Chain A
């Protein structure tokens, strides 16, 4: 089926999320929609899927104009969507999830026809090599498999156009490759695919046509043969360097030493098992791994957010495990949390106040009980300038900033006191290319100033760009610590649990 969008405009108040967007998806082609976070990709697809009403513009399917009042209409017309966050019921089986919303019933007794759903799952699963058991519970499946359930769900509804919204964000490199293979198969069987992403590698690997959007407008189309630099500069609107400039590390003494550290999460599952590593002054140790393999708990245990159940960690020989978060921070640890809106910032506070969120108790920001507004203002103005935080005022709330600028606030705050160790979780998640560049540069500057840096990232590109050494985590353990120049293939296998020497 051919899908065409003509002049789609969608406004939220004064904000124009989509500005006269034209998009043509040919039958049986993979069309990549490339753009930074906040460029308006998801809004466009939500308009197409009937979640939002467009203010202007038309949608055409096989040259006929259609109007969707809601997702039901869009699905009936043959459009399927796999959301970034899956819309599955975890305790239900694969078959139950697939039939959800258009449940078939048996002829006489009018009870749920699970067998029909099972047959559909088996049939589609076989055709595309999905390896899905219709009776497996979705909550027991790996993320990649859950995504395949979403795809089957869409296909079982005779989707002729399949929209994949940032499908690889939660996948391992291997799972990503598998998904891209599936996408190619779908195309070859005649399905049109819209791939929404900001990852250039994937676009180059599978797309037939590329449409780049920036700030709600189509800025151009490109061939998949275009170089990464070309695509990136179209996406950002200026030249960007795709590599991180960094000199060789000059590691000094061990600053952060972690020995046999174990910890449990809130529900009592052991998420961290006897983890040991050292980080030296002036080097970056990056922890790679698929999300949910204990990286979050590692950071939380080091900071003291969750209690440790064994082992210890020291900074310059002083034990930090068992201390309060405040004490750990004050002993020279800077922390950039994984979820900056939840853990890093108070959205309703001003930028100025967020910049002293962990410094309010020390001079010059307060004397005794009294806050010192003049010092706080001065600190804020200095940080805004040094970290290029784009805002109208230091009195604006942190919630009004873009993701990149929010992260700069967190970084500015953590780097504004002398650090021995900088710990950053997913430091560039959800950021635009420009902010990523900036954050990476700052982290390397901090390394070069002699700070021991510990990074956790599920983006392999980021890990390889920043790391001086790479530790790979799998199921709460460190599989191995390898040099920074280890190839992606090996790292990918290690992320799935294979040891360094087996993987290589």
Chain B
């Protein structure tokens, strides 16, 4: 009761003349975005918990051993619960072995391989997630990491296979190429928003399609096509442009991971300790007050999108220079979209994003093992991811489910 009246109170306090105007609707949308992108830690934790719970339920329901026992549930319920327990424990064991430490391995060096795989998968997620989180903090709901990764990877790939440069320099130039590619792809929606007011959700989604089809188109041209192959894939990039493997050739973990951690530190400094970040956060939290205080909101939009694009471009470099080594239309996999979840889960804060990316990296790394060893379809990982987003996007739902207190600002209005 009190919460619903509080919301009524707030809307009625906006004054008669402004009610229902498009600007007002825009403000409500912004408020909603802020609530979703910077939700309470409690909501995030419970959203993960709820998603895991529902995911587990789905796994159990789809398991054939469990299904078999439901036929005679009432005569021997013990069998049913044993089957449920068996399925769940095998799923969680497999996930642990697939993502963190393989207990069946002959030695430690092999045992930790799943963990390094988790870190490797987390690398592009951290980088793209940082870019998106930065945008969220500035009030920009950037959906375009996917396209920015693709364009970044495309430029990086070209530098990698077409140019012949000395060691170290080649890698640096290729990374810069990735960053520039992503930054340009981020600049476009930022510029459009600043100049024309075109909403970034729409423009970034469309630019994702353009990027995807652009790379497919490029791969059909001789400049990008691998000689002697009719498949749409580029030549392998030169070894001089590859990220060095930091734990040796037995593992896939590459320098990009350290770069991602450094980027997380950099983004933290940018947001919390620099005048740019001060403007980003002010514009994100209250663009009207930011503007009245003399900040250029347009400039902030462009700067944020360029930085976000550059970070997504770095994510592209992790893919092309770190793991893939050859450009295909699927170079970005679904990292650009998963990064949205990662940024939401990390509450748009650098440290949170690193942890969220590690969680997702672990889920992804465990996927193949789940399929092979536990017979659980790999899609369950996607289902869990989607459930997390769903729960985070509906904070009142999570609060109601777990009887969490309402956030402070709702109470304030009521008082």
Contacts and interface: CB of A to CB of B under 8 A. Distances in A.
Interface in A376-405: 399-400
Contacts of B13: 85
Contacts of B282: 346, 349, 357
Nearest to B274: A369
Contacts of A400: 412
A392 B5 CA distance: 29
B42 to A, nearest CB: 17
A17 B286 CA distance: 28
A330 B278 contact: no
A83 B276 CA distance: 43
Interface in B281-314: 281-282, 285-286, 288-296
B275 interface: yes
B2 A52 contact: yes
A345 interface: yes
Main secondary structure of the interface of B (DSSP, over half): helix
Contact of B291 (A305, A348, A361, A373): A305
Contacts of A370: 273-275
Given A83-B12, A85-B13, A330-B294, A52 B286 contact: no
A342 B286 contact: yes
A90 B15 CA distance: 12
Contact of A358 (B273, B281, B285, B294): B294
A299 to B, nearest CB: 10
A85 B290 CA distance: 27
A186 to B, nearest CB: 23
Interface stretch (A189-197, A321-329, A458-466): A321-329
Nearest to B276: A369
Interface string A324-363: 1111111000010100001111111100010001101100
Contacts of B15: 85
Interface string B373-415: 0000000000000000000000000000000000001011011
B228 interface: no
A326 B296 contact: yes
Nearest to B283: A346
Given A305-B291, A346-B285, A12 B5 contact: no
Interface residues of A, number: 48
Interface string B227-267: 00000000000000000000000000000000000000000
A101 interface: no
Given A12-B414, A17-B415, A371-B275, A53 B1 contact: yes
A294 to B, nearest CB: 14
A15 interface: yes
B166 interface: no
Contacts of B71: none
Interface in B180-223: none
A13 interface: yes
Interface in A44-87: 46, 51-53, 83, 85-87
Nearest to B11: A85
Interface in B7-22: 8, 12-17
A326 B292 CA distance: 8
A366 interface: yes
Interface in A79-116: 83, 85-88, 90
B6 to A, nearest CB: 9
B412 to A, nearest CB: 7
B307 to A, nearest CB: 13
Contacts of B274: 369-371
Interface string A428-469: 000000000000000000000000000000000000000000
Contacts of B276: 369
Contacts of A88: 16
Contacts of B281: 346, 349
A347 B285 contact: yes
A207 interface: no
B16 A345 contact: no
Nearest to B294: A326
A290 interface: no
Contacts of A218: none
A279 interface: no
Contacts of A373: 273
A326 B295 contact: yes
Given A15-B415, A85-B16, A357 B291 contact: no
Interface in A400-435: 400
Contact of B289 (A12, A342, A366): A342
Interface string A6-24: 0000001101010000000
A303 interface: yes
Interface in A176-212: none
Given A325-B294, A349-B281, A342 B288 contact: yes
Contacts of B16: 85-86, 88, 90, 146
Given A326-B296, A366-B275, A345 B286 contact: yes
A400 B286 CA distance: 16
Interface string B11-37: 011111100000100000000000000
Given A12-B2, A51-B5, A357-B282, A344 B412 contact: no
B414 A348 contact: no
Nearest to B297: A325
A371 B269 CA distance: 10
A46 B412 CA distance: 16
Contacts of A13: 411, 415
Contacts of A15: 411, 415
A349 B5 contact: no
A326 B414 CA distance: 36
Nearest to A357: B293
Contacts of A344: 289, 292
A13 B410 CA distance: 11
Nearest to A40: B415
A12 B415 contact: yes
Given A85-B15, A346-B285, A399-B409, A337 B292 contact: yes
A335 B290 CA distance: 13
Given A17-B415, A85-B12, A399-B412, A357 B5 contact: no
Given A52-B5, A88-B16, A371-B275, A358 B293 contact: yes
A13 B408 CA distance: 10
A349 to B, nearest CB: 6
A373 B12 CA distance: 39
B273 A347 contact: no
Contacts of A146: 16
A346 B278 contact: no
Interface string A207-225: 0000000000000000000
A307 to B, nearest CB: 13
A213 B227 CA distance: 86
A300 B64 CA distance: 69
A329 B5 contact: no
Contacts of B412: 399-400
A180 B409 CA distance: 37
Contacts of B285: 346-349
A70 B278 CA distance: 45
B289 A325 contact: no
Contacts of B288: 342-343
A502 to B, nearest CB: 29
10 pairs of A and B residues whose beta carbons are closest in the complex: A326-B294, A358-B293, A357-B293, A343-B292, A346-B286, A12-B415, A329-B294, A325-B294, A369-B274, A346-B285
Given A345-B289, A346-B290, 7 more contacts: A85-B16, A88-B16, A335-B292, A347-B409, A353-B278, A371-B278, A400-B412
5 contacts: A13-B415, A83-B12, A353-B278, A360-B275, A360-B278
Interface of A: 12-13, 15, 17, 46, 51-53, 83, 85-88, 90, 146, 266, 292, 303, 305, 324-330, 335, 337, 342-349, 353, 357-358, 360-361, 366, 369-371, 373, 399-400
